[in-house]
Amino acid sequence: MISLFFMQLRAAEFFAGIGLMRMGLERAGWSTVWANDIDEKKWEMYRANFNEGSCEFVLGDVHNIDGKDIPDIDLATASFPCNDLSLAGARHGLAGTQSSAFWGFIDTIKGMGRRRPPLVLLENVAGFLTSNDGNDFRDALLALNELGYAVDAFLIDAVRFVPQSRQRLFVVGTKVKNDCLREVSPMLMQSDLRPPALADFIFMNPEIGWAIRDLPSLPSPSIKLQHIIEDVPLNSELWWSKERCDYLLNQMSEKHRAEAERMMAGAKWSYGTVFRRVRNGRSMGELRTDGIAGCLRTPRGGSGRQILFCAGKGTYRVRLLTPRECARLMGADSYKIHVPLNQALFGFGDAVCVPVIQWIAENYLNPTLQALRDLPLALPQSRVNVTYKEQRKPKNHKA
């Protein structure tokens, strides 16, 4: 068996954002040779962190990309927009203005013809699983089947690697020949990677061509919020005024206010995060004190910016999380940040968690690619269970 160490692992990064997918893959031995995004502000952050000469970056709409222009690659990644799939959005699904970019990705891969990569990796919010009663997820997987990929799906919460609650749904498509796919009983052991809702979806959709890989357990969380906090001087303008701090405290419910006062009464400094949410028509401050930050989001209209609450020794102080703290919550402490606050928050709020991607590459992508290169006509059945039946055309895809 030839070690992947001696092979060049080439990836194309669709919906590249600020490049955290690339950073995670690089930690597992991959080279990103082509990337695309439509957002010029994110591209500004991307190019400040990566050598432009090592990767062709195409700034523009994915619908305008011709598959013939994509170089030869082993992996195509797609963290396509979640706006229409998120539980926090209007849930227009894959037919929505933003999330329909998925079909542009599919058309581009289709346009690569025989040069389609052996592996595809999708990433999106957990709401993708239930969008449009599961039909959007089903159509996306069937679209990958039509391109010759058997599919697998799993959920990973970034909290296993960093102190941020950020659950994301991942799909791996593995290129196989139809004559190698045969119906077998899927291995659907429920686990932290495939919880009941996802296992049920797999079980209830046998028409999809599945390739379910047995994966190791995720690591146990070890880093807490306190470990990623920057040492910001007390005289910094980042700290809020007393009036603004008191206003936030008065926005808390009785329960959250009591927790804040408990923190203030402590002999040592402790840390929590606050999100403002509208409850019964009123803006409320919700305090989280379990050592885990809430999910980083993109700030729109002043909302979505996560607040740091520091308390102890009879007092408290408040400020927004800094861009560096956001980078650390994404496992990207080495990331160079030379842009305004909101631009940085947008970039990290739309990105992937770096150590999660590294874990997927090391435990899924790398061994699967090695198996495909050593056994080009089949997947190793000792590790993978495959099902394949007649497919139906995804209903949302307009040719």
Active site residues: 82
- Residue 87: name the closest of 130, 134, 122, 123 by CA: 130
- Residue 11: name the closest of 36, 29, 33 by CA: 33
- Residue 76: name the closest of 49, 43, 23, 36 by CA: 36
Query: Which amino acid, 315?
Result: T
* Phi, psi of 276, deg, nearest 5: -90, 130
DSSP conformation letters of 56-104: EEEES-GGG--GGGSPP-SEEEE----TTTSTTS---GGGSTTTTHHHH
Report the 3 state secondary structure along 205-236: CCCCCEEEECCCCCCCCCCCHHHHCCCCCCCC
Provide the pairing of β-strand 9-14 with 30-37.
Answer: parallel
Answer for the pair 248, 285: CB distance below 8 angstroms, yes or no: yes
Mark out the alpha helices in the chain (DSSP H runs): 20-26, 40-49, 101-111, 135-146, 196-204, 242-251, 254-264, 323-329, 341-349, 354-360, 366-374
- Residue 348: name the closest of 14, 17, 13 by CA: 17
How is residue 398 written in tokens? 């307009």
- Residue 197: name the closest of 250, 288, 126, 270 by CA: 126
Tell me the three state secondary structure of residue 137.
helix
Rounded to the nearest 5 percent, the helix, strand and coil shares of the chain are 35, 20, 40
Report the DSSP beta bridge partners of residue 273. 288, 308
Spatial distance between the Cα atoms of 265 and 341, rounded to a whole number of angstroms: 32
Spatial distance between the Cα atoms of 293 and 206, rounded to a whole number of angstroms: 38
Eight-class DSSP state of 220: P
